[in-house]
Structure 1
């Protein structure tokens, strides 16, 4: 459903469609400078405040042919998918099907192998399970999500068990295995039944949206894509794998030989041939903002409970203040991370490669969704930091608007 303005709206810059309330003019201007009038790529940005849409804008094109981006265009959000997958787990926990403090093996008996019987759901969701390395030898194995779940269940944790280290791809299969053990359903179905349908949105999918969906998937475009899929990627990655441990750590969790092939072709396997709960969610900006709006509103969506207040408070709590061994910066929540940006330190969410992501701040009632399809080496530094630039402005606008009441934090 198209969102509509609730009050006076801002005249939008040329090349930008949708609506925004006047107090969000600065955020609109930043977005317009980066995406307005683009012909080969596009983006969407949405903001909810107290569960109501206050900004929903889009610009550019969904593919290199110039198909216009719309409010129903969804893009692959890479690691921001982890926030959706975590929401599935939180919905199950909310119904008493999962206890964060219980061992994962209580629900998924095979997971007890390799000395993992005492690893808790809480440790798993905060990247402390010691299972960050991809248990695959080829791209074909990575695409087999059931195989990855089985291998992780059988794996032995490494020396970083109990310490935070980003489980770049494995966290998705771990959450999927846990959810499957509890429900008998795979993550693709759970994205629909536990997240999209209860939210009343179409724009949240695992993998490319199915035929008949209102969500139209955007192509992956930009200068970085041909480099990632070229033969040059394999020897470069092979060299990087030979580097010392701390330097090599980020690569071990996101790469196996030949993995670049999953981005190749008109229908890249990463979008069309697998369930990658840590990386191939396809979302619209407005759907992502609405999902995070549930956390901003203490569990309520459209006046109905989506999560309990206790569950939202649990997600708002930082689980460990130790710096991540691979990323160095984030503090982990239950499936989410902090944002190292001014006025964003009390919020949480999840970013993905090239900058797509979602964020919430229960203190101000604000939630944000940002998605785009640009895989550009040139634009990547700006795209990766766009949410960090936008969030302070958005929060400031929400808190200083005269008609908006003060809020208290959920933590």
Structure 2
């Protein structure tokens, strides 16, 4: 049974989420949706651990790669405040990074996964080393790009967090957690946005009830077999043509990963900005509602519209080396998928296990979803695609036209007596609609 609030226009969304929650086994989920700056869905249900304790509104869930979107947003705020530029060499702010042919790698290349530094398997000897920040940043400093930076993209599944995180720490001279609290959590009054969970918040966390980590690894007879099973798990067994398993393994499965317990206090306490954010759906959705609304929400402007426009520009459209699916990387965000709806102007970040958050500036729509059961791919699974489709359909049904022209400065005029489709909205945003006679438009 779900608890929380659902606007009547979004009733179908609750039905879809309810179908995602296990009935006869542990597991729970939470979903929050913002439309035009207003919270229209805030629901949760199921259990947060194997003991059957109920999921609550304040439950924090391990959200894996969904963390990357939060880390990216933090860096964008610093860019907007003038601390750095996207085309700065990383070594300008992090001098030790410049060794081993990395001196010309730019901040932009980090954000759109073109730095060639995804091969964590060759950088460290054991996955538990990921919990040591200084060890990981030193390992990255000593690493050489696996391809010419900027020549292609490869998903930096784990290294992304230290690349972006250390850059943030060098610029601010503060810890990643301190900057996250000061620049995002405190201004937006978010009580569910942690990367490196404090002991005082440990009682709120959900237990990952289906893990590819420590549990079950003892039965694997060889390290190579365990690696392959791990890879199958994190790609959900996808049969993708032209996939280079060695590159995928190198980026996603560090040595010893099968023995890493994602539920351990050590892992949850550590700061791994690519993979161990502990979030509530409320906090994720509110942050992305700000991104969907031009960088401002409830009178709080964290990112200017000019910077938001740059953030959302697609940087590459090609197949990646690690995950050969065109991710259409923006600056720190990927494309959004949904069942049955167009989402080409949406952006966000999904995570292994099914979590995710995204923003749609055309529809002024944003969601945050957390859960603790299932596996999926490194960029989510079918559950969030189903939820996304239902959310978009509900949003499109509840108003005649979106406020797109007001946001883009075109003028608040829309065709009379018909709904504005997503295709029309895209044309409005891009400024390519034909001129219309005044008699054909209605002021809103």
Could you state the TM-score of these two structures normalised by the residue count of structure 1?
Answer: 0.88
Equivalent residue for 2:346?
347
Quick one: structure 1 residues 86 and 223, their matched pair in 2 at CA, closer, same or farther if it must change by over 3 Å?
Answer: closer
Report 1:72-221 matches (<5 A). Answer: 72-134=58-120, 135-162=123-150, 163-211=152-200, 216-221=204-209
Equivalent residue for 1:45?
31
Quick one: structure 1 residues 240 and 31, their matched pair in 2 at CA, closer, same or farther if it must change by over 3 Å?
Answer: closer
Could you state the TM-score of these two structures normalised by the residue count of structure 2?
Answer: 0.82
Q: Deviation digits for residues 61-119 of structure 1, max 9, x if unmatched?
A: 11111111111111000011000110110111110001001111111111111121111
Asked if the contact 2:281–2:370 (Cα under 8 Å) also holds between the matched residues in 1, the reply is yes
Structure 1 residues without counterparts, runs of 5 or longer: 1-14
SS of alignment partner, residue 58 of structure 1: strand
- CA deviation after TM superposition for structure 1 residue 50, in Å: 1.7
SS of alignment partner, residue 355 of structure 1: coil
Determine whether 1:20 maps to 2:16: no
- CA deviation after TM superposition for structure 1 residue 230, in Å: 3.4
SS of alignment partner, residue 98 of structure 1: coil
Count of residue pairs the alignment pairs up:
391
SS of alignment partner, residue 97 of structure 1: coil
Asked if the contact 1:17–1:57 (Cα under 8 Å) also holds between the matched residues in 2, the reply is yes
Quick one: structure 1 residues 228 and 306, their matched pair in 2 at CA, closer, same or farther if it must change by over 3 Å?
Answer: farther
Distance 1:312 1:385 in 2: 28
- CA deviation after TM superposition for structure 1 residue 238, in Å: 4.8
Quick one: structure 1 residues 127 and 228, their matched pair in 2 at CA, closer, same or farther if it must change by over 3 Å?
Answer: farther
Asked if the contact 2:214–2:259 (Cα under 8 Å) also holds between the matched residues in 1, the reply is no
- CA deviation after TM superposition for structure 1 residue 237, in Å: 3.9
- CA deviation after TM superposition for structure 1 residue 400, in Å: 2.6
Q: What is the CA RMSD across the aligned residues, in angstroms?
A: 2.6
Equivalent residue for 1:254?
252
SS of alignment partner, residue 102 of structure 1: coil
Equivalent residue for 1:295?
291
Q: Deviation digits for residues 331-367 of structure 1, max 9, x if unmatched?
A: 1111110023332221010011011010100000000
Q: Deviation digits for residues 208-250 of structure 1, max 9, x if unmatched?
A: 344058x8111111265565643528332456899x9812111
Quick one: structure 1 residues 241 and 117, their matched pair in 2 at CA, closer, same or farther if it must change by over 3 Å?
Answer: farther
Distance 1:254 1:131 in 2: 12
Q: Deviation digits for residues 18-62 of structure 1, max 9, x if unmatched?
A: 011112122111111121756621110010012210000000011
Equivalent residue for 1:389?
386
**Which residue among 303, 310, 329 is the counterpart of 1:307?**
303
Quick one: structure 1 residues 201 and 225, their matched pair in 2 at CA, closer, same or farther if it must change by over 3 Å?
Answer: same
Equivalent residue for 1:69?
55
Distance 1:361 1:120 in 2: 27
SS of alignment partner, residue 43 of structure 1: strand
- CA deviation after TM superposition for structure 1 residue 368, in Å: 0.4
Asked if the contact 2:97–2:103 (Cα under 8 Å) also holds between the matched residues in 1, the reply is yes
Structure 2 residues without counterparts, runs of 5 or longer: 232-241, 406-425, 431-444
Quick one: structure 1 residues 197 and 206, their matched pair in 2 at CA, closer, same or farther if it must change by over 3 Å?
Answer: same
Quick one: structure 1 residues 372 and 288, their matched pair in 2 at CA, closer, same or farther if it must change by over 3 Å?
Answer: same
Equivalent residue for 2:421?
none
Determine whether 1:367 maps to 2:362: no
**Which residue among 319, 323, 326 is the counterpart of 2:315?**
319
**Which residue among 275, 278, 300 is the counterpart of 1:279?**
275
